[in-house]
Structures are given as structure tokens and as C-alpha cells.
Amino acid sequence: MTNRKDLCKLAEALNGLPVLGCRPDSPADRAGVVYGDILLSVNGRATPDWTAFIEARSLSATEMSVEVFRNGAQIAMSVPLEGNQRLDPAQLLAELIAERLVPLDLTPPPAASKPN
């Protein structure tokens, strides 16, 4: 299993988003999205950041077409959404942060300076 830091670096290199997990029984979970996938696009739009993901996700209330990078290959998936739910971007982002599925700050702290 790839550690979070390495996964985030790979996602950045591929201009995508790291999948750090899925909420249990969520549409993505049922569609087969797994930890370690790199989300490249949603509904035909590139997802280099969470703002792009939320905008692309809001294009359809019934289904998401996603493309992920997994084990060296690109995989296209169709993710049915439940009950024609409208997306509340602020609520979605808050849930992802609360469940630690969105990396917040991955930069290491500055090195301590050496005394003179």
C-alpha cells in the first residue's frame, strides 16, 4: 500500500487528486474506487484540485463518469448517484476533511536552524 505522502506526490505529478479512501457504501465505494487511485477527471473535466472536482461533480445529479489512474493504467468508471441528489459543495468538502479524505498540508515543517 502506498503511503499518503507518496500518493499525493504521484497525484500531483499526474495532475489529479489522490483517493485517500471512500466513505463506506458511498457511490464511489460501490463503483469500485479505492485507496491509491488517482482521480484524473470527472464528467469529462480534469480534476487537478478539489475546486475542479466539486465543479465537475455538480454537472450531473444522477451519474458521474470518472477516470482514475490505478497500477499504471487509466480506468474509466460510471458512478451512479443516489436519488438525483444535488451537491452541496461546502457540505461535501467539510465531510471529506472530517474523514481525512482530503490532504490538507503535506509540506514538511521548516528545518530547525542551527545555532551560530
pLDDT tens track for 30-45: 888 999 999 999 999 9
Q: Is 90 helix (H, G, I), strand (E, B) or coil?
A: helix
Residue 81: band (very low, low, confident or very high) from pLDDT cuts 50, 70, 90: confident
d(CA 107, CA 58): 30
Residue 10: band (very low, low, confident or very high) from pLDDT cuts 50, 70, 90: very high
Cell (9 digits) for 25? 457504501
- Put simply, whether the predicted model's pTM sits higher than 0.85 gets the answer no
CATH 1.10.1520.10 applies to domain 4-98: no
Query: Domain residues of the chain, as ranges?
Result: 4-98
